Structure 1
Amino acid sequence: MRTYPSIQKLKEYQEQNGIKISLLGSRDELLHIQLESNKGNWKLYIQDECGDFDEKNQLVCLYLTLKSLEDYVEETDFLAWSNFYDLDDFDTYWLDYYKSLDKIRYEIEFHFGKIDSFIDSLDYELRAGAFQELTRE
């Protein structure tokens, strides 16, 4: 089994912050999750394109959560974000949620530092390298 520094950093991040992620439900192909930590808890929607979310593998859940937060940071506005997730941009539910993400993001960054999923998104897209190893944990 190959050791990946990025997986080790993700584990340390999870352990240092006492993070646990649980599934609350879903809406429009996004998973509704709760991120709990020793600093607080937040409810978020995350994307799980390939069905990798499994509460038994908390590192995968954490990666998917951090990746969704990175996606929010990278998308320039609501329309870009809603198109990225293939959501109805006329649905006021998603507009309200998008607006709430700014506060959530800043709270998480205040407590844990800059949002970083640690694993290269190309590994996730190709299901290779560190992400492939992560799914074996």
Structure 2
Amino acid sequence: MKVLLIQKEGTDLHSILLASETSREVLRFYHPKKTDWGVCMEVSTLGSALSIISEIKWYIQRYVSQPLCLLSNRIICTPAYAGIIYEREESVHDIWDWEILYGIKYHTVLDRMAVTPESPINEVTEFASGMDTTFRARCLEEELKKM
């Protein structure tokens, strides 16, 4: 399981986290790894993932465009979705109706797109064609409404 922190444009999140004594102390057991788009940290449990996101909330608000969780079954999701799994309100299903499609280009999130079962395939394909990398993250319906 991993915590993925997608940095805001023009931010070197890894350097910021290492420069701060506070974040170094909080993250000392997680060994954040720099990626092209932000920072990735291995965690042992879903509870650990949600806890670390909560503990570094100040940094997330200022320097992160989106914190995400990569579950052990390779599903990427928002912390809100991870929270409903953690609280056992929902189980992870093969199909989920609400997702955010992230488009990464030039090492930053260039755009996001709400994806539902009603989303036209050609719009999703067109969105993805202009990006270096794309991935989907499961989210709650309320999160799509805020986009």
TM superposition score normalised by structure 2? 0.25
- Structure with the greater alpha carbon radius of gyration: 2
TM superposition score normalised by structure 1? 0.26
Higher strand share: 2
